[in-house]
Each structure stands twice: as C-alpha cells, then as structure tokens.
C-alpha cells in the first residue's frame, strides 16, 4: 500500500512538472542580474511549456551535432586520398544501405529519442537538478561531463555485453550489426529497445550523479549530449586518422576499437574507453588483430 501511494505521488509530481510553464522571475535569485547568456536561455522558456521546450532544444542540438559530426567523414568517402585511412577499405557502402540507415535513424530519433528528451526535464527536476541562475562554472561542467563519460562507459560495457547473448542478440542487437563496416551515422542505427536501454547510460547517468553525488545544472546536459555524440560518431566513422584521439589520449578506444567489434561481431564492448575490455580480457583478439593491421600498414 505504501509503495503504491509513493508511486502515485511520484507520478502526480511528474505530471505536474510536465505541465510547468516558464517564468523568468521564478528562476532568478532575488536581486540577481543575469548574464546575457542566462537571459537568452530563460527567454526561450518564458510563457512556454518547459518540458516540451527543453525537449525541442535538446533534439535540435542532438540532430545538429550528430549529422554535423558525420559530415566530414561523408566528405572523406568521396576523396580518394582519404581511402588509405579506411579501416575496412575493401568494403563498400551501397546507396541502398545508406538510405535505409538514414530512414531508420530519423524514425527512431523522432519517435523514440524525442519523447525521451521531452520527459527528461521533469525527471531531472524531481531528482534535484538546478534549473535556475547562475549557470555553473566551466570547470565544474568539464568535471561532471568527464565523470558522465566514465559512468556511461561502465554501463555501456555491461549492457552491450548482455546484448551479445542469445535472445538479446537475435531479436534486438542484431539490427545494429547489420553494418559490418560502420560509417558515422550507424552509431544510433539500432532496435528501438536497444536505443532506449543503452540510452539510459547517457540519460540516467547524470540523474544518478545528481541524486547521489552533487547537483547538476540542466544546461550541462547540452554540453554532455554533444560530447557523447561526438565520441560515438567518431567510434563508428570507419576511419583511423593519425590525429585521432585514440593515438594520443590514453585509454581512448576510438574507431579501430569499435570497428573491429562490427567486423568480428565479438569483444570490445565498451563505448568510450578501452580499460574495461582490457581488465576483463574482452580485447585480446582485437589486440592481436590490431598488431597485424599496424604491421601491414607500415609495410605498405
């Protein structure tokens, strides 16, 4: 009975937050003079439904970064001199496969991800996210985003590893593995259930961090989401450029790490860092393969 009452109260609170309309005077401390950036931010919500407005802002940012990050790789696909950096140069991406991927992506992004973004602000408020002024210092934002990467990577390693077992792979994760030679936008090409479940690492991580560790400002999400998108599109880009972060940033997995996973259908389950695969021995075959690939590249 007590659990039912609590659930009912939480649902009622959530629905109330879904209906909240923005008013700048309610978000500013008494006597506080907002910066220009803060004024512009709060003006976006003035007189509008806050949950819907934030969802739309997050969605626009998501789409701009996701496809904008992919654009340089798409251009490289049409430059013959860039082909030497391809991880699987012998595999071609057909127009049919590319358009199928894009259609599926847009459907998922509109009907799965957009609703999740609409629901985020009410959930964030319920766990105590800061939504007013002042905005957080850049140092604090950078620290929190770095921690979010670590949380998401740990969650992704185990959830992704689970998706490679039996029924989970056959009926859910196999969709993502239709692409054995990935290209940037393949990052979010997946079964709707996989999108929702793996997406919890990106969304639930900050919620849990805020609840258990320290307060997060809602605007930090608009730094974290682009950072995560930047990383995942790179991991699926299919290129190994000499300037890529995996060549100079310790434990950054990068495209070679994840490209092998698509090619071989095994191992390398982490999203961002290579340490969990190293600790649990799920990169041994990759290490042997990568040594051979590097040796061949030097010989050529």
**Which pLDDT does position 151 carry in this prediction?**
95
Which distant-in-sequence residues (6+ apart) come within 8 Å of 160 by Cβ?
173, 198, 269, 270, 271
In the block, residue with structure tokens 């042997």: 288
Residue 141 has which token pair?
Answer: 């934002």
Dihedral over Cα of 113, 117, 122, 127: its sign: positive
- Report pLDDT digits (tens) over 240-260: 999 999 999 999 999 999 999
| Rounded Cα gap, residues 212 and 127, in angstroms | 9
**Which pLDDT does position 297 carry in this prediction?**
76
| Rounded Cα gap, residues 15 and 293, in angstroms | 54
- Residue 278 · residue 190 · CB < 8 Å: no
Residue 74 has which token pair?
Answer: 């798409």
Q: What are phi and psi of 164, to 5 degrees?
A: -95, 15
Give, as one character, the DSSP assignment of residue 182. -
**Which pLDDT does position 178 carry in this prediction?**
94
Residue 287 has which token pair?
Answer: 């290490």
- In this prediction, the residues of the chain whose per-residue pLDDT falls under 50 are none
**Which pLDDT does position 2 carry in this prediction?**
66
**Which pLDDT does position 98 carry in this prediction?**
95
Instruction: Kindly report the pTM of this predicted structure.
Output: 0.94
């Amino acid at each position: 009975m007590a659990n039912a009452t609590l659930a009912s109260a939480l649902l009622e609170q959530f629905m109330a937050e879904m209906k909240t309309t923005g008013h700048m005077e309610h978000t500013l401390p008494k006597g506080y003079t907002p910066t220009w950036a803060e004024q512009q931010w709060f003006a976006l919500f003035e007189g509008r439904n806050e949950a819907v407005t934030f969802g739309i802002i997050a969605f626009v940012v998501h789409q701009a970064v996701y496809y904008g990050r992919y654009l340089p790789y798409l251009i490289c696909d049409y430059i013959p001199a860039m082909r030497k950096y391809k991880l699987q140069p012998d595999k071609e991406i057909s127009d049919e496969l590319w358009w199928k991927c894009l259609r599926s992506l847009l459907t998922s992004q509109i009907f799965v991800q957009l609703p999740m973004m609409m629901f985020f602000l009410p959930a964030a408020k319920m766990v105590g996210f800061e939504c007013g002024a002042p905005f957080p210092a850049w140092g604090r934002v950078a620290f929190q985003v770095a921690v979010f990467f670590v949380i998401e990577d740990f969650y992704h390693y185990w959830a992704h590893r689970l998706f490679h077992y039996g029924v989970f792979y056959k009926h859910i994760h196999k969709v993502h593995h239709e692409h054995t030679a990935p290209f940037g936008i393949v990052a979010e090409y997946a079964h709707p259930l996989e999108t929702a479940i793996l997406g919890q690492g990106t969304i639930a991580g900050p919620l849990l961090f805020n609840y258990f560790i320290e307060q997060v400002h809602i605007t930090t999400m608009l730094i974290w989401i682009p950072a995560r998108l930047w990383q995942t599109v790179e991991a699926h880009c299919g290129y190994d450029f000499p300037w890529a972060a995996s060549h100079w940033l310790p434990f950054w997995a990068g495209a070679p790490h994840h490209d092998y996973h698509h090619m071989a259908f095994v191992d390398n389950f982490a999203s961002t860092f290579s340490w969990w695969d190293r600790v649990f021995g799920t990169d041994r075959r990759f290490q042997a393969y990568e040594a051979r690939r590097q040796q061949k590249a030097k010989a050529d």
